[in-house]
Structure 1
Amino acid sequence: MTTEANPEPTSAPRTITQRGLWFDEMEVGTVYKHAPGRTITEADNTWFTAVTMNTQALHLDSAFAETEPFGQRLVNSMFTLATLVGLSVSQLTQGTIVGNLGFSEVAFPKPVFHGDTLYAETTILDKRESKSRPNQGIVTLEHIGRNQHGEVVAKAVRQTMVFTSAHDPQNPEITA
C-alpha cells in the first residue's frame, strides 16, 4: 500500500475582503434588500436619546407617553433614520464611500416602538460622475424602512459621493 503525499497548493488561496459597491458597480433602478433587520430595544432608544441631548418626554417618560396619542414611548426618529442608513452600509458603501452629501425627503409615516424590528431596502435612483473629483461619483439612494409587519416607518433620499473602482488598491489596472 502506497501513501501519496498531499500536493502542495500551486497558488495562494483567493482572499475576498467585504466591501460596498464602487460607483461603476451601482446600477440605477436596482433595489437592494438588506439583511438582517434590527430589533430596536428600550435601551437603544434611551441611550441614543440621552447621548444626543434630546429631552423629548415621548422618548424618555413612560407615564407621560401613556397620555399621548400613541399610548407609549416612541423610538427617537433620528435613531430610526441612522439605523435605516446603517443597515445599508455593509452591502452598499462599506469602504467605498467618500461621504454623505445630504438627505432629502425624510419622512416617518408610522411610529417605531420598543421591540419593533426595522428592515431596510435601498433603490439606486440616480448616479453621475463627479465633474470636479476624478475617480468619484455622486449616487442618489432611496432608503425605505419597514417594521416587522411590512409597514413603512421611514423613508429618506440620500446623496453620497462614492469612489469608482479605480480607487481600489486591489485593482490590477492601477499603476503606481
Structure 2
Amino acid sequence: MRYFEDIEIGEKQSFGSYEVTRDEVMRFAENYDPQPFHLDDEAAARTHFGRLSASGWHTCAMTMRMMVENMKVHQQASLGSPGIDELRWKKPVFPGDTLRVETEVLEKRASKSRPEMGFFKSRIVTYNQDDEPVLEMTSNGIMQVREPRRAEG
C-alpha cells in the first residue's frame, strides 16, 4: 500500500490509455451536457470545433477514470479530494482520440487537525495521441498516513 509518507514533491507519473468513442461522447452529452456540438455532426461542423467533440466534463471524467485505475495499480491509500484549484480545457477532444495522463506532485502537508491524513497538490495534464495537452488542472488529494502521530494526553 502506498501512503502519504511515500509521496515525494516533484514525483512524476505517466499512465493511462483511453480511447474516445463516438457512442460514449454522445451518450455522455445526452445525459450531462446536451449541447448541439456534442450531439449533432452538422451543428458541430458549423462551430469552431469543426466536428463532433467531447464535453469538457466528459474529458474530466475520462481523466478521472485513468487516475483511479492508476491508484488501483499502485494501491494508493487515497481518501478522496477536497477539490481542484484550477481547470483548463486546452484543446477539444474528438471521437477517435486516445488520451493519457501525466501528473507531478507540487506540494504536500500533514493535516494539523487529522493526524490520520495528509494533503497533496498535483498538476494533472491529459494529452491526446499527438502529445497535445487537452486538459490541465491543479488537483488536491487526501492520503492516509501510514502511522499517525499519537495524541499526547
Partner of residue 3, structure 1:
none
- The answer to whether structure 1 residue 39 and structure 2 residue 19 are counterparts is yes
- The answer to whether structure 1 residue 86 and structure 2 residue 79 are counterparts is no
**2:66 is paired with a residue of what secondary structure?**
helix
Deviation at 1:48, TM superposition (A): 1.5
The counterpart of 2:43, out of the listed 64, 70, 75, is 64
What letter corresponds to residue 90 of structure 1 in structure 2? E
In structure 2, do the counterparts of structure 1 residues 113 and 83 end up closer, same or farther at CA, with 3 Å as the change threshold?
Answer: same
Q: Aligned equivalents of 2:93 and 2:70: distance in 1?
A: 24
The counterpart of 1:55, out of the listed 15, 24, 34, is 34
Partner of residue 25, structure 1:
6
Equivalent residues in 2 for 1:17-166, closer than 5 Å = 21-35=2-16, 37-52=17-32, 54-92=33-71, 96-166=77-147
The answer to which of 70-79 and 80-89 deviates more is 80-89
Residues 97-136 of structure 1: per-residue CA shift (max 9 Å, x gap): 2121111221111111001001101111111001111120
Q: C-alpha root-mean-square deviation of aligned residues, in Å?
A: 1.7
CA contact (8 A) 1:40 1:116 kept: yes
Deviation at 1:95, TM superposition (A): 5.5
**2:29 is paired with a residue of what secondary structure?**
helix
The answer to which of 95-104 and 58-67 deviates more is 95-104
- The alignment's TM-score, normalised by the length of structure 1, stands at 0.77
Q: Any stretches of 5+ residues in structure 2 without a counterpart?
A: 149-153
Residues 113-160 of structure 1: per-residue CA shift (max 9 Å, x gap): 001001101111111001111120011111101100011111011111
**2:81 is paired with a residue of what secondary structure?**
strand
**2:102 is paired with a residue of what secondary structure?**
strand
Q: Aligned equivalents of 1:150 and 1:105: distance in 2?
A: 21
Q: Aligned equivalents of 2:50 and 2:5: distance in 1?
A: 47
Q: Aligned equivalents of 1:86 and 1:140: distance in 2?
A: 18
CA contact (8 A) 2:123 2:136 kept: yes
Work out the percentage of aligned pairs sharing the same amino acid. Answer: 29
CA contact (8 A) 2:3 2:76 kept: no
